[in-house]
Amino acid sequence: MLQIAAIREHKDAFAQALKKRNLDAMPLLENAISVDEKRRTLQGQLDETLAESNKLSKQIGDLFKSGKAAQANELKVQTGDLKEKSKQLNVELNVAIEELQNILYTIPNIPQDSVPTGNSDEDNEVISEHGSIPTLHAGAKPHWELVKDYDIIDFELGNKITGAGFPVYKRKGARLQRALINYFLDKNTGAGYEEMQVPHLVNEASGYGTGQLPDKEGQMYYVGVDDLYLIPTGEVPITNIYRGDLLENKDLPITMTGYTPCFRREAGSYGSDVRGLNRLHQFDKVEILRIEHPDQSDAALDSMVAHVKGILEELELPYRILRLCGGDLGFTSTLTYDFEIYSTAQEKWLEVSSVSNFKTFQSNRLKLRFRNSEGKTELAHTLNGSSLALPRILAGILENYQTESGIKIPEVLKPYCGFDIID
């Protein structure tokens, strides 16, 4: 959520920047400013009324204490009007506050200057490509066939137990997945990220804090009896660890990592994109998060990108880095880099990581602040990224490492797997 004070100050620049999202934000921004104007006027009137009422109360108290009950009772009569008036103003003020809130909820974050213009994922800017695409043997297969051949992932079984999009990982498939989780966590903690294990269900306040609510409600599984949501990403519980906190300057940066399953309803998804492991209702992910001083967040984003690069290079998977265009940029982000690995058998790129700087958009909702060097409170910056999403990495390994005699295991994973081929 943007800060109203910032909107007031940078209206034109914000409207300009939001054009990159193909959004004509000017009417929204102006509406927000005018509602805020109303809010401030009402606040002023209410303050005045209450000040008067407080003054009278004090006088009444003093009169009672000095035994002048008659005079005190006279004054009491005067307070009636003020009470009525302040009640009325209070109602109007709350309406204005809510109205403003609702407008602010609909305004996405301001894209950074470097965000390219564009309408869809086709307009994302390819920053770099790395590694070489392997030449597979004749008859190489996509992963959904490989997993059947070697009996390592069973989609039918998941279907039976739960429904589509909930695969069962078996035998060496299960072990490979666990190996990846451990490997990712080791890489992240080795780089200084503190490991966290967090709840997989969150309350409403957490959903609002990171921006899933109110608008992306339909993407989350909801447990009505207890009013809880299954997490769509570890970002939600991990970021909310610091919701409402006031940190000291010296506490920054805070760096965390965590492994969680992710649950997504993916309503409306269909077609070849959802084949096999490409898109699931439940999948595993290891996440990295940072809470940063505003001066440091740009550099922090770069370091997260470098970190994810390092992992993909060790796995020896061909990958590329994209800078998301305005049209594809997430609602809460100012700048996002996506990592895609090349699935040789499917002949397509698969997104395996998304690394974003949210600046103060989340912290404003979270009320996550720190005391700066001048002793003033200031919103911190939040960032996060996947390192990495499991299923597509798994798909990439299965497809790119397949040979006629089985699927080889990447060198770095062998110690984690305890075997070096799936056959």
CB of 87 to RNA, least distance (A): 8
- Residue 103 and residue 32 in contact, taking contact as beta carbons nearer than 8 Å: yes
Number of residues located near RNA, criterion CB under 7 A = 28
C-beta atoms surrounding 386 within 10 Å: 24
Cβ-Cβ contacts under 8 Å for 386 (sequence gap 6 or more): 285, 286, 287, 288, 308, 352, 353, 354, 355
What residues from 256 to 275 belong to the interface with RNA (CB under 7 A)?
none
3-state helix, strand, coil split of the chain in percent (to 5) is 50, 20, 30
Is there a contact between 253 and 291 (Cβ–Cβ < 8 Å)?
yes
Among 126, 127, 246, 306, binds RNA (CB under 7 A): 246
What are all long-range contacts of 43-50, with beta carbons under 8 Å and residues at least 24 apart? 43/93, 45/89, 46/86, 46/89, 46/90, 46/93, 49/82, 49/85, 49/86, 49/89, 50/86
Give whichever of 5 and 267 is closer to RNA, judged by the CB atom: 5
Selected range binding RNA among 35-43, 269-277, 338-346, 415-423, rule: CB under 7 A: 35-43
Q: Provide the mask over 49-88, with x wherever binding to RNA is found by CB under 7 A and - wherever it is not.
A: -xx-xxxxxx-xx--xx----------x--x---x-----
Q: What are phi and psi of 173, to 5 degrees?
A: -65, -45
Q: If we measure between CA atoms, which residue out of 265, 310, 293 comes closest to residue 412?
A: 310
Give the whole-angstrom CA distance, residue 105 versus residue 124.
Answer: 26
Site string for RNA, 366-385 (x = CB under 7 A): ---x-x-----x--------
Minimum CB–partner distance for residue 82 and RNA (Å)? 8
Q: Two tokens at 275?
A: 């084949």
The burial of 137, by beta-carbon neighbours within 10 Å (0-12 exposed, 13-18 middle, 19 or more buried), is given as exposed
Is residue 5 involved in binding RNA (CB under 7 A)? yes
Nearest approach, Cβ of 29 to RNA (angstroms)?
A: 16
137 near RNA, rule: CB under 7 A: no
Is 299 a binding residue for RNA by CB under 7 A? The answer is: no
Cβ atoms within 10 A of the Cβ of 156, count? 10
CA 58 from centre of chain: 49
Instruction: Give min distance, CB of 367 to RNA, in A.
Output: 8
Interface with RNA (CB under 7 A), residue from 48, 125, 129, 145:
48
Which CB sits closer to RNA, 23 or 50? 50
Q: ω into residue 415 within 30 of 0, thus cis?
A: no
To the nearest whole angstrom, how small is the minimum distance from the Cβ of residue 109 to RNA?
A: 18
- Helix (H), strand (E) at residue 142: none
The answer to whether 254 contacts RNA (rule: CB under 7 A) is: no
Q: How far is the CB of 44 from RNA (least distance, A)?
A: 5
We find the least distance from the C-beta atom of residue 51 to RNA, in angstroms, to be 4
Considering the complex, what minimum distance in angstroms separates the CB of residue 206 from RNA? 13
Which positions touch RNA (CB under 7 A)? Answer: 4-5, 36, 40, 43-44, 46-48, 50-51, 53-58, 60-61, 64-65, 76, 79, 83, 246, 369, 371, 377
